Amino acid sequence: MTRGLSLKWQAVLIALGALLLSHVVAIAVYTHDRDDVMATAAIQDVAERMASYIAISADLAPDTRRHMLQRVAGRVMSVSFDAPLDPEACRTAYPQKGAVDHILSAAVPAGIAWTSCVAKPAAPARRLAQSALPFVGEQRLLIAFRFPDQNVTLDGVVRDDPPFLLDSAVLYILLVGLIASGAAYWLILRATRPLSRFGEHAAEVGRNLDSPPLTEDGPGEVRSAARAFNRMHAQLKRFIHGRTGMLAAISHDLRTPIARLRLRTEMLPDTPDRAKLLATLEEMEEMANAVLVFVRGATPPEAQRTIELGSLIDSICSDLADAGMPVAFLDGQREIRYSCRPPSMRRAVTNLIDNAVKYGGSAEVRLRQSPRQITIEVLDRGPGLAPDQIDQVVLPFYRGEASRNRETGGYGLGLSIAASIVNAHGGELIIRNREGGGLSVSLDLPL
């Protein structure tokens, strides 16, 4: 039931549900006990009044007794003469019968017999609490007295007026729920705010490895998790910077011996072996340069600024089309402003278009925006990829084309560089095979 809800709202619902359940049970128990006590007291009060009227009228003549009881009893109860109790609407066994019999035995003169019962009144109007709680309401106490010369039945209404709490049980529970939910939300918000910052910082680390450490505050468990996360962040940063720096240093330092070898090779006689050596050295130099480009793409030094993303992509497609490449920027949402590192974004889009032209023969570019993200999609009609290759083509130096010929496949760094750049912007590179053949490569950038 709580699937999909955040921890904050799950905790609020659990706390609120437990509190409301405890109040409902407490009200039910309280009202049940109160009903027993109040019903007994009310019936005893009515029984005492009836007994006192009968005691006063015991020695009177039947007509006088009739006149006196009609005038006195008519204000608080009804009186009838020579009318037996209705067994259909009357319960002669009720919880307070013992107390009523005790009162009548003590107050009614000897020689007068009685029979008592309790019946529900046919009153249409009932309060909200009386409708919602069946043990709250009114009762009628009927006592039939048998005089030697007359039968008298007194019918008194036993009122059980609920207190304010019971009359307003629904309102009370709503008020308690409102106050409790507000307090629970505030307390849980304070407790879970560090967790929210935890998630935001984890996402920021994914975009920028050099982001500042997470603030270590909040409950003890959250502080402990934050310390562990900061240690992991520091270790990850040292590891990646160390590996990246080592890779950059090796690629940079290789350029010097490659240049020396090229110089010496060019001094050799013009033979087929000399041409092969120069080609190999050129390939090595291009590979070193590609590694340096990849390293710079993984750690872009440029500052972010807001640009017209559609204009950037349009200029890329126009430049490549002018160079003779079959590239088209399809109609779509072009006036989209986005904060990014423009040189890195240009490099990522260019790499995707290069790959599409190289493997698919042509490239189509689309730009669209949704409420949560911006998508740059590059489409081709090439052979596509096998399902097991889709997750691997973004790895450095992995090439979907089987040969190692740089003219047909490069060095396998184009998609890796694009993935690194989009990850640095907090986005994701997604590769899909198209229906009818070809590949769709999307840069999903969060807003």
Segment 370-393, tens digit of pLDDT: 888 899 999 998 888 888 888 777
- What pLDDT is stored for residue 379 in this prediction? 92
**163 in the same domain as 88:** yes
CA-based end-to-end distance of the chain: 31
- pTM for the model stands at 0.47
Residue 368 lies in a domain: yes
CATH number of the structural domain spanning residue 395: 3.30.565.10
Of these ranges, 22-26, 90-94, 290-294, the one predicted with the greatest mean pLDDT is 90-94
- What pLDDT is stored for residue 401 in this prediction? 57
**pLDDT of 117 higher than 80:** yes
Domain boundary among 250, 265, 299: 299
**pLDDT of 140 higher than 50:** yes
**pLDDT of 295 higher than 80:** no
Residue 307 lies in a domain: yes
**341 in the same domain as 316:** yes
- Which structure tokens are listed for 433? 């095979």
- The domain of 217 spans 208-299
Question: 338 versus 9: which is more confidently predicted?
Answer: 338
- What pLDDT is stored for residue 131 in this prediction? 37
Q: What percent of the chain shows pLDDT beyond 70?
A: 72
**pLDDT of 222 higher than 80:** no
Residue-wise pLDDT for 68-79, tens only, equals 888 877 666 888
- What pLDDT is stored for residue 403 in this prediction? 42
**383 in the same domain as 336:** yes
Residue 178 lies in a domain: no
Q: How many CB atoms lie within 10 A of CB 316?
A: 20
Give the closest residue to 70 by CA, choosing from 150, 11, 8, 162: 150
- Which structure tokens are listed for 340? 């990014």
**310 in the same domain as 287:** no
- What pLDDT is stored for residue 326 in this prediction? 92
- Chain-centre distance of CA 347, in angstroms? 38
**pLDDT of 132 higher than 50:** no
- What pLDDT is stored for residue 377 in this prediction? 92
**295 in the same domain as 327:** no
- The CA-atom distances, in angstroms, between 180 and each of 12, 30, 188 are 9, 21, 12
- What pLDDT is stored for residue 162 in this prediction? 53
Dihedral sign from CA coordinates of 403, 409, 413, 416: negative
**287 in the same domain as 323:** no
Residue-wise pLDDT for 98-112, tens only, equals 888 888 888 888 888
Distance (Å, rounded) from C-alpha 146 to C-alpha 140?
19
Query: Which residues contact residue 182 at a Cβ distance below 8 angstroms, ignoring those fewer than 6 apart?
Result: none
Residue-wise pLDDT for 246-260, tens only, equals 666 666 667 777 777
Give the closest residue to 35 by CA, choosing from 133, 172, 150: 133
pLDDT confidence of 404, banded at 50, 70, 90? very low
- What pLDDT is stored for residue 1 in this prediction? 45
**79 in the same domain as 165:** yes
Contact (Cβ atoms closer than 8 angstroms) between residue 121 and residue 140: yes
Average pLDDT, the chain: 76
Residue-wise pLDDT for 156-198, tens only, equals 887 655 554 455 566 767 777 777 777 777 777 776 677 777 7
pLDDT confidence of 134, banded at 50, 70, 90? very low
Question: 95 versus 239: which is more confidently predicted?
Answer: 95
- What pLDDT is stored for residue 365 in this prediction? 92
Distance (Å, rounded) from C-alpha 401 to C-alpha 418?
18
Residue 186 lies in a domain: no
Residue 379 lies in a domain: yes
**273 in the same domain as 347:** no
Domain boundary among 170, 200, 231: 170
Q: What percent of the chain shows pLDDT beyond 90?
A: 4
**404 in the same domain as 269:** no
Give the closest residue to 225 by CA, choosing from 248, 244, 199, 204: 199
**147 in the same domain as 15:** yes
Residue-wise pLDDT for 238-289, tens only, equals 776 666 666 666 666 677 777 777 777 777 787 887 787 777 777 777 767 6
- Which structure tokens are listed for 49? 């009044």
Residue 179 lies in a domain: no
**293 in the same domain as 313:** no
Helix (H, G, I), strand (E, B) or coil at 372: coil
CATH number of the structural domain spanning residue 275: 1.10.287
Tell me what the mean pLDDT of segment 34-63 comes to.
Answer: 83
**22 in the same domain as 121:** yes
Radius of gyration of the chain (CA): 46
> Per 3-state DSSP, what percentage of the chain is helix, strand, and coil (rounded to 5)?
55, 15, 30
Question: 289 versus 335: which is more confidently predicted?
Answer: 335
Q: How many CB atoms lie within 10 A of CB 74?
A: 10
Give the closest residue to 365 by CA, choosing from 351, 381, 349: 349
**pLDDT of 137 higher than 60:** no
- With 0-12 / 13-18 / 19 or more C-beta atoms within 10 angstroms meaning exposed / middle / buried, residue 284 is middle
Q: Which residue has the tokens 């107390």?
A: 99
**pLDDT of 398 higher than 70:** no
Contact (Cβ atoms closer than 8 angstroms) between residue 214 and residue 193: no
Please give the tally of structural domains in the chain. Answer: 3
pLDDT confidence of 126, banded at 50, 70, 90? very low
Residue 421 lies in a domain: yes
- What pLDDT is stored for residue 133 in this prediction? 36
**pLDDT of 299 higher than 70:** no
Domain boundary among 299, 317, 352: 299
Residue 272 lies in a domain: yes
